[in-house]
Amino acid sequence: MRTCDYCGGENPDEAVNCSGCGMELKNPNPPPPVPKQDKLTAAGFWIRALARIIDMVFGLFVGFIAGTLGGTTLVLLNAAGVVPPGWQHRIHGFSLTVLAFSFLGNILYHTFCEGIYGATLGKLCCGICVVSEDGRPSNLKGAMIRSLAFYFDGLFFGLVGYNSMEKSALNQRYGDIWGKTAVFKTDEIAPEFEHSPMRLTVSLILGIGCWIAMLATGLVLKVLQQ
């Protein structure tokens, strides 16, 4: 039986309203309240732009290492008679081959770093990381899609991506929307989704290694094609 809190009348267990006064009967066993979860803070445009600039500056160091590796390879090929003399003069100047391999290397760097660990060196410095839309760890597919789409989002000094982020509740640029990813503050990611230092090491070795290898390969091919 259910007792009415207003008139004290007794009512059947299945009753919704009191048969005596007509007032609504309260549930004697209300469900426990659902704990409120804090919403993750999506990273804004400027902090993400700073992370990208840091990666670009780091790219100068990568270019130096790749140039040294490529030059050493050409010296060895010259000694083996594969490259004709005077290659030092042909190594300078613009080349579509070098540009294409540089583009590919940059894509692989972001794909491996963000797909395996969730962050490039730039994002690590800025305390942000790439995750799936639901806050779970990102994957290689989503990381590659967003990395390729950056060259669309970055048009007009990033205005295209900025416009998309302004309309998104998660500050997603088009690459994030297509790759089903988002960028959040690292210190707000749930502990069970945090990656180990080993994954960070693997992601950096693969990402930076591929970037250097692609640049060095492009440099060597440029000389061999001439």
The domain limits of the chain are: 1-33, 45-225
User: pTM score > 0.95 for this model?
Assistant: no
pLDDT at 23: 67
Phi, psi of 131 (to 5 degrees): -135, 175
pLDDT at 28: 61
The torsion angle over the Cα atoms of residues 41, 45, 176 and 100, rounded to 10 degrees, is: -150
Consecutive sets of 10 residues in the chain, 226 residues long: mean pLDDT of each?
Answer: 73 74 66 48 92 96 94 87 75 84 96 95 95 89 96 94 93 95 87 80 96 94 81
Count Cβ atoms within 10 A of the Cβ of residue 66 and give its class: 0-12 exposed, 13-18 middle, 19 or more buried.
buried
